[in-house]
Amino acid sequence: MTTYWAELDENNMVTQVTTGVDDLTIDGIPAADYYTNVAGVPCVQTWIDRDDKIYAGIGFTYSYETEDFTPPYYPPSPPYVPELVE
């Protein structure tokens, strides 16, 4: 089975989501540490098949407290109002 890993920047923002193997350890190293070592940045697991977790995407922010992701906020655009031409 495949697992999914979010690579984080210094602000815990997701820069990339990669796939991995479904093992608790790889070469005797905990999976999160292994992927962090390979990527050179912090990696945390994200889940595509859990209703109680948000699947990570680029620009999402990770919280170590909740162990979950928050999507980015984009304020709504103002409504389009065409100019009247006289």
Q: Is residue 46 part of a domain?
A: yes
Interstrand relation of 14-21 and 2-8 (parallel, antiparallel or unpaired): antiparallel
> For residue 44, what are its two tokens?
């945390």
Whole-angstrom distance, CA of residue 11 vs CA of residue 30: 23
Q: Is residue 81 part of a domain?
A: no
Whole-angstrom distance, CA of residue 81 vs CA of residue 46: 41
> For residue 43, what are its two tokens?
């990696």
Q: Is residue 76 part of a domain?
A: no
Stated pTM of the model = 0.79
Whether residue 66 contacts residue 19, with contact meaning beta carbons closer than 8 Å, is answered with no
The domain tally of the chain equals 1
pLDDT tens for residues 9-62? 999 999 999 998 888 888 888 988 999 999 999 999 998 888 899 999 999 999
Number of Cβ within a 10 Å radius of residue 12: 16
Q: Is residue 84 part of a domain?
A: no
Q: Is residue 47 part of a domain?
A: yes
Q: Determine the structural domain holding residue 57 and report its residue range.
A: 2-70
Q: Is residue 86 part of a domain?
A: no
